[in-house]
Structure 1
Amino acid sequence: MFTLKNTQDEHDHSKCVHKALEQAKVLCEKQGARLTRLRRQILELVWQSHKPLGAYTLMDMLADNSDRKRVAPPTVYRSLDFLLEQGLIHKVHSLNAYMGCSHPTQKDSEALFICGTCGHTEEIRSNSIQQAINLAASQHRFTVNQQILEVVGLCNQCKGKR
């Protein structure tokens, strides 16, 4: 069982969100990609907590935070696909949800530690995980295009409640 450091109480989400949006702006400009108003809104919503959010939850949040009519599912999915392509978010496959990428310009391996009780998810970057994946791929003559390891367990906060 792993122990996930839960920093929810000491974490300033406004700084986290601001940094992510600034990184996204710079990265998109550098790559010649358009960070439209809707894409930026979705990215901001994804970053408002460290819990992965599903597309329909994001649609509801957009409707609550906007004076526009409800955004159609394909529109939200296209925006999410754009954010994924730019490396600005991760898809948490086991939850069919999305979360922000803390280091969109780095290519180290990522592991997502997911608390199975509260849903708090933390992105972990690790050279040792990357080396193990590279070694295993090399031994099997396999070319890795993308990898995200999802690890489910208990964060410190939930572990303390047991």
Structure 2
Amino acid sequence: MKIHWMPIIYLTAHSEPQVFQRAKDTSPAAYLLKPFRHNELAFQVELAYLNQYNNRHPTNLLGSEKLYLPINKGHEKVAKQDVLYLLAEGAYVKVYMVGEEKPHLLAMNLGYLAQYFSTANFHRLSRSLLINLDHVSRLERSQLFMHKQPVPISIPEGNRVDLIKKLAVVRTR
């Protein structure tokens, strides 16, 4: 008997958090909600296959300081230190970079991309947000500001304590 591992992609109309959590516990390659777009489904199947191949043929590049991200119909070299934050939006991830007005939109999930940002300066602020702590310029009670970004990022109340532990915050008495 031969075992062949294959990625699992959920395609469902169930968007309830508890259903998603149960699916997430099985480590799926993707979780797509109906109605779906045909090109989105094709992208997710291709990524699931690629991710399975990469996970079965690991490289030592996860710790690399530079990545080649799928940008503009090719792969563009990106220094991890120039990444401000990664924001999940459905089956996509927006990559905000230092000195760039618009984010790069990548057709993949944040869970997969986050493995390439596993160093201490990157912090998972929420299920949909991974920030580079080196670029936090201002911290307020319920929000933070990233380097030269005009729009603040909301801090989930339950994650505030963990964030403060990662930053050298001087408190008043």
Q: Same fold (TM over 0.5)?
A: no
Q: Decide which structure has the larger Cα Rg and report it.
A: 2
Q: Which has the higher strand share?
A: 2
Answer 1 or 2: which has greater helix percent.
Answer: 1
Q: TM-score, normalised by structure 2?
A: 0.28
TM-score, normalised to structure 1's length? 0.30
